[in-house]
Structure 1
């Protein structure tokens, strides 16, 4: 196995229309900076929006989707708390609030410890009970993922549209999204995270045999 590391943020947002959106924003990754958007519609249709064929292949080879589109994905951040995401047909704006108790607890953990697989595995059960998310687990193509959360801010406001139509008000991420292991907590939030993906040596990063 070899490990690929992605360092950045994951935001999970629910809407009253039933559409749930998960943003992955990765300033540091094996492919350089990129962002991707996962969307699960109210009827369960799972859509991936990724900026390049290479990143789309990797994400789709790790998680499960019904449809994959390669589109421009643009993320702008103002004052660290106001995010704007454009990934046609999705347009999303959201704002974060002050760090809450889970965020304070995560910030207290030294960064090098927070990204170690043993430490991450230790917190899997508490994360499931408290937040409705997992910290590690198996993925497609024989891969395994570890989510090393390092900070958390609640999302306190959001507006989202699809093809120009409003998706409704901010809501919990319910029912849970079905892209794969972990994904996002139930309460809308922005998580500072380092994700490590263990990939089998005899497979390409897209999940196909090399």
Structure 2
């Protein structure tokens, strides 16, 4: 098995159109810096949008999708304003204040919060407090641990997927079905370290 660590942020976005999106912004990883998006439509169709083939292969080995699209993904952050553009997806969202969860997470020393063993303690709490959220579990071809270090609310959204307007910001209901864990029901941005353990062929 091989282990890889990804440092960045995950944003969970729901919309009044029924489309739910999970955006990953990975600032440090074995694949360099990149952004990706996982999209689930109201019909349950799950689409991965990845910037490169190697990144797509990695994410496919970790999560479940019905379709994979490899296309350039541009993510620009200016203060609290976030902007993502690809051939399929256009998103603009605004990040709000740190939540109560974010304040709690900030109290945990970073070296502890990021350690895979710490997820043994946080997983039962996450399941209880945030429906559908888990901090450890089985990936498609291995295992994964999440270490969260901060959490902010998302307060606005606009965009389109495959040319169709997403409407306004809404809760993520039902929860996206990409893997063992979902994002919080309320749209939010989580600072996280993801540790992935996959077969050596990945």
* Aligned residues of 1:37 and 1:87 also touching (Cα < 8 A): no
Q: Match of 2:15? A: 15
| Range 128-137 or range 60-69, more displaced | 128-137
- Deviation of the 1:183 alpha carbon: 3.5
* Aligned residues of 1:172 and 1:188 also touching (Cα < 8 A): yes
TM-score, normalised by the number of residues in structure 2: 0.96
Q: Match of 2:27? A: 27
Cα distance in 1 between the residues matched to 2:195 and 2:64 = 18
Cα distance in 2 between the residues matched to 1:77 and 1:178 = 27
Cα distance in 1 between the residues matched to 2:201 and 2:86 = 26
Cα distance in 2 between the residues matched to 1:182 and 1:21 = 14
Q: Match of 1:138? A: 138
Q: Match of 2:45? A: 45
- Deviation of the 1:121 alpha carbon: 1.9
SS in 1 for 2:194: strand
**Structure 1 portions without partners, runs of 5+:** 206-210
Q: Match of 2:189? A: 190
Trace 1:48-87 onto structure 2 (pairs within 5 A).
48-79=48-79, 81-87=80-86
Deviations 1:49-101 (A, max 9, x none): 0000000011011100000010010000001x110011221100111111110
SS in 1 for 2:129: helix
Q: Match of 1:204? A: 201
- Deviation of the 1:199 alpha carbon: 1.8
* Aligned residues of 1:131 and 1:185 also touching (Cα < 8 A): yes
TM-score, normalised by the number of residues in structure 1: 0.93
Matched, 1:117 2:106: no
Cα distance in 1 between the residues matched to 2:169 and 2:201 = 38
The runs of at least 4 consecutive aligned structure 1 residues that moved more than 3 Å come to none
Matched, 1:97 2:128: no
